[in-house]
Amino acid sequence: MGPDRSERQQVEPNMIDLHSHILPGIDDGSKSIEMSLKMARIAVADGIKILACTPHVRPPTYNNTSANITDAIHSLQQRLVTEGIDLKLVLGGDIHINQDIIEKLQNKTIPSLNGSRYFLFEPSHNVMPPHLIEFSIKILKAGYIPVLTHPERFSWIENHYDVITELDDIGVAIQITAGAITGDFGKTAKYWSDRLLAEDRTDIIASDAHDTKHRIPVLSKARDYIAHFCDEETARRLTFGNPRRILENGILRRKERKTSPKSVHKTGFKKILDRFRVWH
């Protein structure tokens, strides 16, 4: 079963970013405490009040654990207080797919999001992992809910979009990168993020911030796009409502999926997206 509610912090309302690499020096994100402080200021200026610190957990490259991530969060949070930066940090990890995920979540070696049953779940970007659906079902049966990180950026989504939709159907949560929505990761990632939004297969958006120049901790531009592309309620749900439910171990809003014909090509799907804008 998932963690006990007593382990979780209570959260305050505003935009919530559940995917960032703001902790200094422990993965490919922030390189220094000075960069981390600048990232925090950017986040606050953008309207983000709560930020999950989710460094890569990908042995042997990044041997991060709940213990060292927690220590790094405490140190950075103290600096934020000292600097007068009003940003609340919560525990998490960007957990690369591994067969011992369930055991490590159960013994708390690796962190879920804020002690909840939800955790960031990162498959390979370049090759679809074998038996991904079966493994996800096993995780769900153990009482945990994977949050699939940025599928719109996977190189294999083109040929295996049905795997993404099946993961969504069985109860895996879907996170899209804010920068992909606004075109910062190119036309292909933009297309797939639009499609996941149009088909109502998105649970949260997050920054996946790594620095202060190219991959920054901002959500507002993507939020405004979603408010126009979908509606205001969806924009708020993806940047606040569902992230808050995750941090409090709640139940995510039931999605009203709008499937598109598998034979539709990108040019054809653009017409569907255009009609979706008219409907809303």
pLDDT band of residue 6 (cuts 50, 70, 90) is very low
Environment class of 271 (CB within 10 Å of its CB; exposed 0-12, middle 13-18, buried 19+)? exposed
**CA count, 13 A, side-chain hemisphere, 163:** 20
Average pLDDT over residues 65-91: 98
pLDDT at 30 over 90: yes
Of 7 and 145, the one with more pLDDT: 145
pLDDT band of residue 121 (cuts 50, 70, 90) is very high
Give the whole-angstrom CA distance, residue 36 versus residue 98: 28
What tokens were used for 69? Answer: 């991530």
Average pLDDT over residues 189-204: 97
Of 117, 130, 111, nearest to 57 by C-alpha is 111
**Which of 44-48, 153-157, 264-268 comes out lowest in average pLDDT?**
264-268
Count of CB atoms within 10 A of residue 192's CB? Answer: 24
181 and 226 in contact (C-beta within 8 Å)?
yes
Count of CB atoms within 10 A of residue 247's CB? Answer: 24
Non-local (6+) Cβ contacts of 218 within 8 A are 42, 43, 46, 48, 178, 207, 209
What tokens were used for 150? Answer: 């940025």
What pLDDT sits at residue 73?
98
What pLDDT sits at residue 171?
97
What pLDDT sits at residue 279?
41
What tokens were used for 189? Answer: 């990632």
28 and 136 in contact (C-beta within 8 Å)?
no
Average pLDDT over residues 173-200: 97
Averaged confidence pLDDT in the chain = 90
pLDDT band of residue 277 (cuts 50, 70, 90) is very low
Q: What is the tens place of the pLDDT at every residue in 229-271? A: 999 999 999 999 999 999 999 999 888 777 654 434 454 455 5
pLDDT at 8 over 60: no
What pLDDT sits at residue 263?
35
Average pLDDT over residues 203-216: 96
pLDDT band of residue 11 (cuts 50, 70, 90) is very low
Average pLDDT over residues 52-80: 97
Of 49 and 14, the one with more pLDDT: 49
Q: How far apart are the first and last CA of the chain?
A: 39
Q: Which residues pair with 176 in a beta bridge?
A: 205
What pLDDT sits at residue 59?
92
User: What domains can be seen in the chain, in order of their start residue?
Assistant: 5-279 (3.20.20.140)
What pLDDT sits at residue 9?
53
pTM score: 0.89
